[in-house]
């Protein structure tokens, strides 16, 4: 598909500088883009490529002042990065709208129901009483257990497994290999040293506008629901244990692990490889630095780092002090020598 700069500008509320009839048919990174491609410039680190790129159209911030003329047509917007993301979303939406119908072979239970403009890829399985909403896309090898509900405009990528009774809201994206609703890790210690499994009879509820990365796992609740609230964004390779609650618009980076029954507030940011113990609370707006080990509740708005995690500002001060230790050791030795001299002691 070919798009003129004027049409792209309308989509992102941009202002054109240059030829409004310049056309593009694909996207490219600013350092590699050629004729007929659309690029964006937002990071000053790539400024040199702005003047050498072969891109036909470039999305750029309103505030940026050119140092020399460009051959490319510019589309000026308040935030080039956000505008480019919006454009990519529109493009993806157009491409996905072309996917409809049911590929074969598939298994779809007679009691299952699908809305309009649904796509179900080959080798997918839809169990009893499954409901799939309008415009949702299930790519090949997706498994939906009995009584699973998937809302409207969802994208379920290849190999996703959603166990029985789990509920998926609208506009949810789940990437390849993710498991939703596997058993929570619950075992009761016995007198003989063995462990008795505790049945996990709850489910997982994922609200609207959530995105979950590849190969993540979200365990079903022992009772009740493991809950991912609207707008949350989860990266690849994340473990969410039973009965955890993840708040609205919270973001969690790759390889983080959240232990059972922990409650995470709204707008929380959790860095990669962070580990969080069970049965604690992270207040709204809290921030957990990468590789932190969180062993107790965090107040709203507070940032922590380290293992065990503690106040981020205090940690920075400690790190700064640690860098000065060799100098401090030298000064201590000099003071010891000076004291010995004042006391008339022999200095070796």
Nearest one of 181, 160, 172, 183 to 234, comparing CA atoms = 172
Q: What is the pLDDT of residue 35?
A: 95
Catalytic residue IDs = 242
Please state whether beta strands 233-234 and 251-252 pair in parallel, antiparallel, or not at all (unpaired): parallel
Confidence band, pLDDT 50/70/90 cuts, at residue 43: very high
CATH number for the domain formed by residue range(s) 101-312: 2.160.10.10
Q: What is the pLDDT of residue 311?
A: 85
Q: Which parts of the chain fold into alpha helices (H)?
A: 5-12, 47-50, 80-97, 312-323, 325-342
Q: Within 10 Å of residue 206's Cβ, how many Cβ atoms?
A: 29
Alpha-carbon gap, residue 299 to 297, rounded angstroms: 7
> For the segment 56-88, what is each residue's pLDDT rounded down to a tens digit?
999 999 999 999 999 999 999 999 999 999 998
> For the segment 276-292, what is each residue's pLDDT rounded down to a tens digit?
999 999 999 999 999 99
Mean pLDDT to the nearest integer, 111-122: 96
Terminal Cα-to-Cα distance of the chain (whole angstroms): 84
Does residue 316 surpass a pLDDT of 90? no
Does residue 344 surpass a pLDDT of 90? no
Confidence band, pLDDT 50/70/90 cuts, at residue 140: very high
Confidence band, pLDDT 50/70/90 cuts, at residue 308: confident
User: Which residue bears the tokens 């415009």?
Assistant: 135
Q: What is the pLDDT of residue 307?
A: 85
> For the segment 6-39, what is each residue's pLDDT rounded down to a tens digit?
999 999 999 999 999 999 999 999 999 999 999 9
CA angle, 94 then 86 then 178, to 5° = 75
Q: What is the pLDDT of residue 346?
A: 72
Alpha-carbon gap, residue 204 to 241, rounded angstroms: 10
Mean pLDDT to the nearest integer, 121-146: 97
Mean pLDDT to the nearest integer, 182-189: 94
Q: Indicate the fold that domain 3-97 takes in CATH.
A: 3.40.1390
Please answer whether residues 16 and 73 qualify as being in contact, where contact means their C-beta atoms are separated by less than 8 angstroms: yes
Alpha-carbon gap, residue 216 to 62, rounded angstroms: 38
Rounded alpha-carbon distances, angstroms, from residue 340 to 31, 65, 327, 328, 333: 65, 65, 20, 18, 11
Nearest one of 145, 109, 139, 146 to 124, comparing CA atoms = 139
Alpha-carbon gap, residue 110 to 38, rounded angstroms: 46
Does residue 102 surpass a pLDDT of 90? yes
Between 48 and 319, the more confident residue is 48
Q: What is the pLDDT of residue 258?
A: 98
- What backbone phi and psi angles, to 5 degrees, belong to 232? -70, 145
> For the segment 205-221, what is each residue's pLDDT rounded down to a tens digit?
999 999 999 999 999 99
Between 144 and 320, the more confident residue is 144
Alpha-carbon gap, residue 149 to 137, rounded angstroms: 13
Structure tokens at 20: 């409004």
> For the segment 219-235, what is each residue's pLDDT rounded down to a tens digit?
999 999 999 999 999 99
Please answer whether residues 163 and 146 qualify as being in contact, where contact means their C-beta atoms are separated by less than 8 angstroms: no
Strand order in the sheet with 173-174: 101-102, 119-120, 137-138, 155-156, 173-174, 211-212, 233-234, 251-252, 269-270, 287-288, 303-305, 310-311
Confidence band, pLDDT 50/70/90 cuts, at residue 90: confident
Does residue 348 surpass a pLDDT of 70? no
Confidence band, pLDDT 50/70/90 cuts, at residue 259: very high
Confidence band, pLDDT 50/70/90 cuts, at residue 303: very high
> Among residues of the chain, what percentage have pLDDT more than 90?
83
Let me know if 27 is exposed, middle or buried by CB neighbors in 10 A (0-12, 13-18, 19+): middle
> Among residues of the chain, what percentage have pLDDT more than 70?
99
- Residues with Cβ within 8 Å of 86's Cβ and at least 6 positions away in sequence, in order, are 11, 12
Between 261 and 312, the more confident residue is 261
3-state secondary structure 211-260: EECCCCEEECCCCCEEEECCCCEECCCCEECCCCEECCCCEECCCCEECC
Confidence band, pLDDT 50/70/90 cuts, at residue 347: low
Q: What is the pLDDT of residue 263?
A: 98
């Amino acid at each position: 598909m070919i798009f003129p700069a004027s049409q792209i500008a309308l989509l992102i509320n941009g202002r054109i500088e240059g030829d409004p009839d310049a056309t593009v048919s694909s996207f490219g990174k600013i350092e590699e883009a050629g004729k007929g491609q659309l690029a964006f410039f937002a990071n000053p680190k790539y400024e040199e490529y702005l003047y050498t790129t072969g891109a036909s159209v470039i999305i750029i911030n309103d505030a940026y002042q050119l140092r020399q003329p460009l051959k490319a047509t510019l589309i000026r917007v308040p935030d080039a990065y956000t505008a480019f993301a919006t454009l990519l979303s529109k493009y993806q939406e157009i491409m996905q709208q072309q996917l409809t119908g049911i590929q074969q072979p598939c298994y779809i239970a007679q009691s299952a129901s699908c809305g309009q403009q649904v796509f179900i890829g080959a080798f997918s399985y839809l169990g009893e009483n499954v409901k799939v909403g309008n415009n949702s896309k299930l790519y090949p090898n997706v498994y939906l257990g009995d009584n699973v509900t998937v809302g409207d405009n969802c994208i379920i990528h290849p190999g996703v497994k959603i166990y029985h009774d789990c509920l998926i809201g609208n506009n949810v994206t789940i990437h390849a290999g993710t498991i939703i609703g596997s058993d929570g890790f619950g075992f009761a210690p016995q007198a003989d040293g063995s462990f008795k499994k505790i049945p996990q009879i709850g489910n997982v509820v994922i609200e609207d506008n959530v995105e979950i990365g590849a190969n993540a796992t979200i365990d079903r609740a022992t009772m009740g629901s493991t809950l991912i609230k609207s707008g949350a964004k989860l990266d690849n390779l994340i473990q969410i244990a039973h009965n955890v609650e993840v708040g609205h618009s919270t973001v969690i980076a790759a390889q983080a692990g959240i232990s059972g029954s922990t409650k995470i507030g709204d707008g929380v940011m959790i860095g990669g490889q962070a580990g969080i113990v069970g049965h604690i609370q992270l207040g709204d707006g809290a921030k957990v630095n990468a590789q932190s080990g969180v062993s107790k509740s965090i107040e709203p708005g507070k940032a922590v780092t380290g293992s065990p995690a503690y106040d981020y500002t205090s940690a920075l001060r400690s790190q700064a002090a640690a860098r000065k230790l060799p100098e401090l050791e030298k000064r201590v030795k000099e003071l010891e020598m000076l004291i010995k001299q004042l006391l008339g002691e022999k200095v070796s």
